A and B are shown apart, each in its own frame.
Chain A
Amino acid sequence: MKRTLTVVAMLMAGTAAHADGELHLYNWGNYTSPDLVKKFEEKYKVKVTITDFDSNNTALAKVEAGGSGFDLVVPSAGFVKIYADKGLIQELDLSKLPNHKNIDPAWMNVEWDPGRKWSVPWQWGSTGISVNTKDYGGDINTSAIFMDPPKELVGKINVVPEMGDVLALATMYEGGKICDDDPAVMKKVRDALIAAKPKWMAMDYSTVEKMTKHDYSATVDWNGSTLRQRLAVPEIHYGYPKEGYPLWMDNVVLLKDAPNAENAYLFMDYIMEPENAAMLSAFARYANGIAGSEPFMPDDMKGAPELYPPAEFKDKGHFLTVCTGKALEYQTAIWTELQK
């Protein structure tokens, strides 16, 4: 009996000690540098647990359902506001973030969080098309790849299940703008997407793995993801849709009910250290929003076509905002119809 009690006491002590050093990060899948996490764990003796999500809406739904136990979430730009409006995140105590000053001025006074009081930058990039040029030799700088697929690609295309990105691409392809609320345009968008869907193979998040294994010949994709694919399979190239493509930024926010807020601050501050920000970029292959991180970036990212759009497509990128009102209603309705 006594021995049992000792064991129980030891177990309890063990869990208590464990709980001191924990951090739960809820992030996009295949997005967090394991090396960086390991380095952080060793420095602060904190055990980091990462849970994946595959779309902003999924993440928001799970956090909103409550009791998630997560400390940090990495939503895209406009979603930061939604988290704040719903009272899911807390305003940051900047005194605990000495590296806050490292945020690139360009990413400091952002529309979704002026002065960076609620969120710190994770990474940013664009949404375009990844094509295996072994299967298709035509023009890849167009959304027609998935909106009106060439016959070589029919049944071999994937579309990521991210409402904002896909609808932004589709709307601009049909001549509208991001968050268009013109019913005539949105009707065209819906009809075109519904007509295109049978020509797609899947609506799936894991593009790096499936493109490099040649399960897909093309996919709607994010630039860094395509860069990773190209480094594994040289025939894969990134297309910047000339009809217009979205730019985005993902940001780290601190949940209101974060059980390990102190560790969360440590982590946020840690990733704003230029060297560490570069480590994040070196893994996921996106640019980060931290000034002074360039010298630490890997060589194969310097001048990569996925990160630096050619001059002719540079002004075709538009920053993705979260739509409101009628525009959002159209998007949600179209997306639901499309996902069925």
Chain B
Amino acid sequence: MATLEEEAEVQSRRNAWLLSAPALVVLFAAAAGPLIIVLIYSFLTPATYGNVEWIFSLEGWKGIVFQHDIFSDNLVLADANLVIFWRSVKLSFITTVLTFLVGFPTAWFIATRSPRARALWLFLITIPFWTNLLIRTFAINQIIRNEGVLNTLLLKVGVISEPIRLTYTDTALLIGMVYVYLPLMVLPLFATIDRFDMRLLEAGYDLYANRWQILRRIILPITRPGIIAGSILVFVPCLGAYVTPRILGGGKNMMIGNFIDLQFGQGQNWPLGSALSITLLIIVTIALLAYVRTIGGENRHG
């Protein structure tokens, strides 16, 4: 006879499944399902004017690196694709570094305030999240336009004699992305610095370390998990950024996200778009795996 205990355990296991069923269904329907479709589409042939024909083909995947020269029919390196990939990785990396350079002192400042002031500062950091990303990006465009707030001000003050052209440049993109992703860097950094034992600094000074050594040998190693978490949180969404480059890049300076979008619209090459999406996913997975490795290693060494 099953004891009550066993019965209760079976019951609780069943409940656990039942409780997680909605989540599992959503995960499959909203994540795995569409991904499988994307994967299948990447192996099909593009039809004229969009959509696909159900003929197996590796052209989509080849198209990431190679392209047919339409006039000589030779296979040539698709340098334009690689340029876009390189630009995305480069801009994401620079954004990560910039958000770190701005975010670390900010997080340090907040973490060293009194608890009440700290709450206020954190609250201020989250204020931008109250407004839609699209609207904030348009607002940035409004500031950096040729006849926007920034240029008008600089012209009036006499710092410059003709407007600095920022609209639709990589600089505009960087300004936009640093602004948008800064909170994602500050918050994890704050969480780590908040737990940082300030007595370690005193100990360091007592042992005649200078400021640079304190930063390099004590602060940075201890706050490393926060730095890595913040960097991942900034780097990964940057890679797939769509809205910011779309609005601040002017349809000319694309990043991977826009390039994928292009394939499904005017590019009329859905298989290539699908293959590009999966490539982006793989890049992101590698970045995340690297993160898990580092953090795992951290814990082992205690």
Q: Which residue on chain A has the smallest CB distance to residue B69?
A: A333
Q: How large is the interface on B (under 10, 10 to 19, 20 to 34, 35 or more residues)?
A: 20 to 34
Complex CA–CA separation, A61 to B48 (angstroms): 11
With A86-B49, A200-B252, A214-B146 known as contacts, the answer to whether A58 contacts B265 (CB < 8 A) is yes
Interface flags, A297-340, vs B, CB<8A=1, else 0 = 00000000000000000000000000000001110111111011
- B51 and A339 within 8 A (CB): no
Main SS of chain B's interface residues?
loop
What are the residues of chain B within 8 A of A158 when measuring CB–CB? 250
What are the residues of chain A within 8 A of B49 when measuring CB–CB? 57, 60, 64, 82, 86
What are the residues of chain A within 8 A of B251 when measuring CB–CB? 161, 202-204, 339
With A58-B266, A64-B50, A86-B49 known as contacts, the answer to whether A337 contacts B80 (CB < 8 A) is yes
- B252 and A214 within 8 A (CB): no
Q: Is A163 in the interface zone, CB < 8 Å from B?
A: yes
- A161 and B147 within 8 A (CB): no
- A201 and B168 within 8 A (CB): yes
Complex CA–CA separation, A204 to B250 (angstroms): 6
**Other-chain contact of A340, B51, B68, B84, B145 (Cβ < 8 Å):** B84
Interface flags, A43-66, vs B, CB<8A=1, else 0 = 000000000000101101110110
Q: Which residue on chain A has the smallest CB distance to residue B84?
A: A340
- A61 and B269 within 8 A (CB): no
- A57 and B266 within 8 A (CB): yes
CB contact list, B10-69 vs A, under 8 A: 48-51, 68
- A202 and B250 within 8 A (CB): yes
Q: Which residue on chain B has the smallest CB distance to residue A203?
A: B251
Q: Is B71 in the interface zone, CB < 8 Å from A?
A: yes
What are the residues of chain A within 8 A of B68 when measuring CB–CB? 333
CB contact list, B68-96 vs A, under 8 A: 68, 70-71, 80-81, 83-84
- A339 and B81 within 8 A (CB): no
Complex CA–CA separation, A55 to B264 (angstroms): 13
Q: Is B100 in the interface zone, CB < 8 Å from A?
A: no
Q: Is B150 in the interface zone, CB < 8 Å from A?
A: no
Q: Is A38 in the interface zone, CB < 8 Å from B?
A: no
What are the residues of chain B within 8 A of A201 when measuring CB–CB? 167-168, 250, 252
Q: Is B254 in the interface zone, CB < 8 Å from A?
A: yes
- B50 and A214 within 8 A (CB): no
Query: Chain A: how many interface residues by the 8 Å CB criterion?
Result: 38
Q: Is B214 in the interface zone, CB < 8 Å from A?
A: no
Complex CA–CA separation, A224 to B70 (angstroms): 35
Complex CA–CA separation, A192 to B266 (angstroms): 20
What are the residues of chain A within 8 A of B264 when measuring CB–CB? 61, 65
What are the residues of chain B within 8 A of A190 when measuring CB–CB? 71
Interface flags, B241-282, vs A, CB<8A=1, else 0 = 000000000111010000100101111110000000000000
- A339 and B267 within 8 A (CB): yes
Chain B nearest CB from A197 CB (Å) reads 8
Q: Is A183 in the interface zone, CB < 8 Å from B?
A: yes
What are the residues of chain B within 8 A of A139 when measuring CB–CB? none
Chain A nearest CB from B72 CB (Å) reads 9
Q: Which residue on chain B has the smallest CB distance to residue A55?
A: B266
What are the residues of chain B within 8 A of A197 when measuring CB–CB? 252
Q: Is B118 in the interface zone, CB < 8 Å from A?
A: no
- A214 and B147 within 8 A (CB): yes
Interface flags, A184-199, vs B, CB<8A=1, else 0 = 0011001000000100
**Other-chain contact of B70, A57, A203, A214, A330 (Cβ < 8 Å):** A330
What are the residues of chain B within 8 A of A161 when measuring CB–CB? 251, 266
Chain A nearest CB from B172 CB (Å) reads 11
Chain A nearest CB from B273 CB (Å) reads 10
**Other-chain contact of A215, B70, B146, B254, B268 (Cβ < 8 Å):** B146
Q: Is A96 in the interface zone, CB < 8 Å from B?
A: no
What are the residues of chain A within 8 A of B50 when measuring CB–CB? 57, 60-61, 64
- B145 and A215 within 8 A (CB): yes
Complex CA–CA separation, A305 to B265 (angstroms): 34
**Other-chain contact of A339, B147, B167, B168, B266 (Cβ < 8 Å):** B266
Complex CA–CA separation, A202 to B51 (angstroms): 27
Q: Is A213 in the interface zone, CB < 8 Å from B?
A: yes
With A64-B50, A215-B145 known as contacts, the answer to whether A339 contacts B71 (CB < 8 A) is no
Of the listed residues A332, A336, A337, the one surrounded by the most CB atoms of chain B closer than 10 A to its CB is A336
CB contact list, A15-32 vs B, under 8 A: none
- B265 and A203 within 8 A (CB): no
Complex CA–CA separation, A332 to B262 (angstroms): 12
Q: Is B211 in the interface zone, CB < 8 Å from A?
A: no
CB contact list, B149-174 vs A, under 8 A: 165, 167-168
Q: Is A155 in the interface zone, CB < 8 Å from B?
A: yes
Q: Which residue on chain B has the smallest CB distance to residue A86?
A: B49
- A340 and B250 within 8 A (CB): no
What are the residues of chain B within 8 A of A334 when measuring CB–CB? 70
Complex CA–CA separation, A203 to B252 (angstroms): 6
- B168 and A61 within 8 A (CB): no
What are the residues of chain B within 8 A of A86 when measuring CB–CB? 49
What are the residues of chain A within 8 A of B250 when measuring CB–CB? 158, 201-204
Q: Which residue on chain A has the smallest CB distance to residue B259?
A: A340
23 contacts between A and B (CB under 8 A): A57-B49, A57-B265, A58-B265, A61-B51, A61-B266, A86-B49, A183-B71, A187-B71, A197-B252, A201-B252, A203-B250, A203-B252, A204-B250, A213-B147, A214-B146, A214-B147, A215-B146, A332-B268, A336-B262, A336-B266, A339-B267, A340-B81, A340-B84
Known: A65-B264, A186-B71, A204-B251. 15 other contacts (CB 8 A): A57-B266, A61-B264, A61-B265, A61-B268, A64-B49, A158-B250, A202-B250, A202-B251, A203-B251, A214-B146, A333-B68, A334-B70, A336-B262, A339-B251, A340-B83
Instruction: Write the residues of chain A forming the contact surface with B, with a CB cutoff of 8 angstroms.
Output: 55, 57-58, 60-62, 64-65, 82, 86, 155, 158, 161, 163, 183, 186-187, 190, 197, 200-204, 213-215, 328-330, 332-337, 339-340
